[in-house]
Structures are given as C-alpha cells and as structure tokens.
C-alpha cells in the first residue's frame, strides 16, 4: 500500500465497520423468506464497505485528472454508494425484524455520510 492509501485508511478509521456490523445484525434479525428480499434489505453495510475497499484500491490509480475532467474511477464508487443507500431505504418498509431495530440507522447513516465524503475525496485527490 502506498502512503496515500494508508492515509485514506487512517481517515476512515473504524467507521466502515459500523455499517457492516449493523448489516450483519439486520441479517441475523430478519426473517429468512425469500433470500433475495433478505439480501436486498440487509446488505447496506456491505455495499458501503465495498465502496471503502474500492476507494482505497482505486485512489492509487485515480490521480492525474484536472478539475472539470471526467475521472473514470468516480462512477463505480457512486454506484456502490447508491446501492448502499438503496438497500438502506429498502430496509425501512421491508425489514421484518422489528421497527425499533431500524433505529440502528441513526448510526449507520452518519457513518455512510462519512464514508461517502472520505471516499469521494480519496478518488478525486481533492482534499479539503
């Protein structure tokens, strides 16, 4: 890993593990019918974690694009983040493990916002 990639990991800290742990808890708490609904409802943390892994790997190759120039590494990141958000929104009406359990999104949504913020800066090489 390069120094830049290690810096991105340091900025992320343990935050990407929070949505992943919450997704595992959602999966264990949800009813097992049908498997595709359960996967769609409980996979939000896995998508956000995949976005972090992608950002750490892709940031090594995504430098060298000037302002206003299309960076081809941004689209896969946006897709992974959109899939995580879609799964989070799908869990609101379709999760069958108890309504109080949905309050875990009060932790996972700020973590997802942090993941989005740091991942976008890592890919664009445009830090605040």
pLDDT at 120: 92
pLDDT at 118: 95
CA distances from 107 to 11, 15, 76 (A): 18, 10, 25
pLDDT at 70: 81
pLDDT tens by residue, 12-36: 989 999 999 999 998 888 887 788 8
pLDDT at 23: 93
Rounded Cα distance, 83 and 68, in Å: 25
pLDDT at 68: 67
48 contacts: CB under 8 Å, gap ≥ 6: 16, 19, 20, 80, 81, 84, 108, 111, 112, 115
pLDDT tens by residue, 38-89: 888 899 999 999 999 999 999 999 887 766 678 889 999 999 999 999 999 9
CA distances from 60 to 29, 102, 108, 112, 123 (A): 38, 36, 27, 22, 8
């Amino acid at each position: 890993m390069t120094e830049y990639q290690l810096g991105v990991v340091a900025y992320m800290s343990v935050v990407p593990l929070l949505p992943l742990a919450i997704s595992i808890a959602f999966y264990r708490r949800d009813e097992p019918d049908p498997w595709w609904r359960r996967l769609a409802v409980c996979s939000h943390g896995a998508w956000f974690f995949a976005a972090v892994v992608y950002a750490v790997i892709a940031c090594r190759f995504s430098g060298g694009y000037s302002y206003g120039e299309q960076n081809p590494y941004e689209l896969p990141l946006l897709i992974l983040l959109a899939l995580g958000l879609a799964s989070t929104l799908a869990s609101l009406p379709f999760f069958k493990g108890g309504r109080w359990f949905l309050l875990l999104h009060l932790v996972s949504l700020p973590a997802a916002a942090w993941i989005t913020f740091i991942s976008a800066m890592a890919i664009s090489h445009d830090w605040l």
